[in-house]
Chain A
Amino acid sequence: MRRPEWPFYLKPGETFFVEREEEIAPGERGIVLVIGPQHPGAGHLRLFAVVNGDVVADVRPDPGFVHRGIEKLAEKRPFWVLGPLLEKASIMDSPNIMLPLMHALEEALGLEPPPRAKYLRLIMAELTRIRTHLYDLAIHAIFLGHSTPFMWGFGLGDLIAEVEAKIAGARTTAAYPIPGGVRRDLTTDGRQALESLLRKLEAKLPDFYTMFFKNPVVKMRLEGVGVLDAKRAVELGAVGPSLRGSGVDYDVRAARPYDAYAEVKPEVQVEKAGDAMARQLVRWREVEESIRLIREALRSLPEGEIVDESLLASAPNYRREGIAGIYGAFVKLRPTRGEYLGLVEAARGAAMVQLFASPSPTPFRLRFVTPSWRNLKPMVEAMKGYRIADIPAIYMSFGYFPPEADR
């Protein structure tokens, strides 16, 4: 297949026709509609939609506008700075998207986070899961031209960002987990902020639900649109809410528990319908589930250190210098040669890191598979056969986030 390219010899306003005209029946008129990369919404993806009248006959995606070469850059950097690099794939979901790398590195370095660190990772991961889901709902609302949920989503997201800043030190890119633990302990202040945030969220979320999911306009735009049945979703490799929205009961947190998920068990949220509404409903249920998980983790939060004992022993300056002392200890560590895997459930689905470690501080090769990339093909397939006006509704129901997909 030829790679689609914008025909630069044409001026804006002129239309051009499908290159594969033989696929369109005689008498049928088809034009290629170029959507993006500048469009009202979370842009930077270009779609070439072949439309027949108002119906989408074929969609070809053109990703790669945010390809920044994370995998290649990782080959040149020592392992202790890889976290902040991989985190930039999905910055509002940073603890989740970093975790697979941390798991792979811990295996390679022979470190084991203490129980308290595992619980803290869970708390931050669930907190950013709520934020990412609210972000996706808010942007979806903007795609539909409904700006009140945007305001609500980002308003609540801002509260979460402030609490993140209090606990982890930054609003979005906190790089909270480190190999063998977490960067900061949960202080009494942070704990109070977290608890009052949860109370606030619980008070506000029912109104959000009524406004978005009970809204007749939203219902008409989302119900029965972009249907992907379970078999098709699995075939196309959908992950996360897009998979669970099609009725497949798969969540890495439950299927292959990591960190504290073995003790604080999540309930997998599944919807049967497989349409845009079902995917958003799964997100919504997961927000509620995450609040429950954070509560439970806070209740049973163990006492103790937040980084591995062996790291502490080799970093005598830790008590004085804080986390900087730990980084001093990393410099002396060397990974064991081998191939390591990290797999976690990020907010938009399963994220995976495959690390080929050599005994040098820089990895030999790093493979990073992100959930949005996996959801691109299902998204494009789900658009076929629906109307042009449904494209935005289907687009964001998959929570497609280009920096995450293009890496």
Chain B
Amino acid sequence: MTSADGDGRANGGVVSRLRRIIAEGGLRGLASLAARWGTKWSLWPPHLVTACCGVEVGHLFGPAYDAERYGALPMPAARHSNLLLIEGTITMKMAKFVKWVYEQMPEPKFVIAMGACAIKGGVFYGSYHMVPASNVVPVDTYVAGCPPTPEALLKAIEDVQRRRVESL
């Protein structure tokens, strides 16, 4: 991705890049570019707190880290959101609802699984009442840590923007 960006800049900035896109894909190419750009800066996670990693998610949207700079702000309703932030453990009881919320979200949607618990179980590895996030929903990006620092989460949001949204 970085090389493509570099090429774009080398080719003489925005105007020539736009010209190239119109030449290649016509108006549809232009519209898709606009849609991708819009999606990139409006990643809304629903308010679905699954476990204690939610503490650091609070800090992520607090004044010190301010993820709103990246266009991410929690939305009350699943239907208004497109980025599922799985905050730690998913228990068997919660898994049903995680899936349900995920299915309600409109396309395109992305999933960040946060914390050691969501990856494989972390400190609760072997517990009788939990499932790894990847068994419940398709995960795009994992964030390691227990809990991950807000910096790591910002990095994950950037990662979704770069790897997933730009390549849509």
- Residues of A at the B interface (CB closer than 8 Å) are 37-44, 64-70, 72-73, 76, 84-85, 88-92, 135, 138-139, 150-151, 154-155, 157-158, 161, 171-173, 403
Contact = CB atoms under 8 A, between A and B. Distances in A.
A38 B47 CA distance: 6
Contact of A85 (B55, B74, B123): B123
Contacts, number: 105
Nearest to A92: B55
Contacts of A151: 62-63
Nearest to B66: A151
Interface string B27-61: 00000000000000000001111111011101101
**5 pairs of A and B residues whose beta carbons are closest in the complex:** A154-B62, A40-B76, A158-B64, A155-B63, A403-B52
Nearest to A171: B149
Nearest to A86: B123
B132 interface: no
9 contacts: A38-B78, A40-B47, A44-B49, A66-B91, A69-B124, A85-B123, A151-B62, A151-B63, A155-B63
Given A40-B47, A154-B61, A157-B58, 19 more contacts: A37-B48, A38-B48, A38-B97, A38-B101, A42-B54, A44-B51, A65-B50, A65-B91, A65-B93, A72-B127, A73-B124, A84-B123, A85-B124, A88-B123, A89-B52, A157-B59, A158-B64, A172-B55, A403-B51
B55 A155 contact: no
Contacts of B49: 42-44
A403 B128 CA distance: 16
Contacts of A150: 62
Interface string B90-110: 010110010001000000000
Contacts of B46: 38
Interface string B123-137: 110111110000000
B94 A37 contact: yes
Contact of A158 (B48, B59, B78, B130): B59
Most B CB contacts (10 A, CB to CB) among A42, A66, A90, A171 go to: A66
Contacts of B65: 158
| Chain B contact residues: helix, strand, loop or mixed | loop
B74 to A, nearest CB: 7
B131 to A, nearest CB: 11
Contact of B147 (A76, A91, A158): A91
B94 A44 contact: yes
B89 A139 contact: no
A154 B142 CA distance: 24
Contacts of A161: 59
B19 to A, nearest CB: 43
Contacts of A172: 55-56, 147
B94 A66 contact: yes
B146 interface: yes
Given A40-B47, A40-B74, A91 B55 contact: yes
Contacts of A38: 46-48, 78, 97, 101
B129 A69 contact: yes
Contacts of A73: 124, 126-127
B149 A64 contact: no
B130 A68 contact: yes
Nearest to B117: A68
Nearest to B89: A68
Given A64-B93, A173-B146, A76 B126 contact: yes
Given A43-B47, A66-B50, A91-B147, A135 B62 contact: no
B129 A67 contact: yes
Nearest to A91: B52
Contacts of A76: 126
A39 B76 contact: yes
Most A CB contacts (10 A, CB to CB) among B48, B55, B94, B149 go to: B55
A170 to B, nearest CB: 9
A94 B56 CA distance: 14
A129 B78 CA distance: 33
A304 B48 CA distance: 47
A90 B149 CA distance: 16
A155 B128 CA distance: 37
Contacts of B97: 37-38, 65
A71 to B, nearest CB: 11
A40 B52 CA distance: 16
Contacts of B47: 38-41, 43
Most A CB contacts (10 A, CB to CB) among B52, B74, B97, B127 go to: B52
A130 to B, nearest CB: 15
Contacts of A157: 58-59, 62
B78 A67 contact: no
A161 B60 CA distance: 13
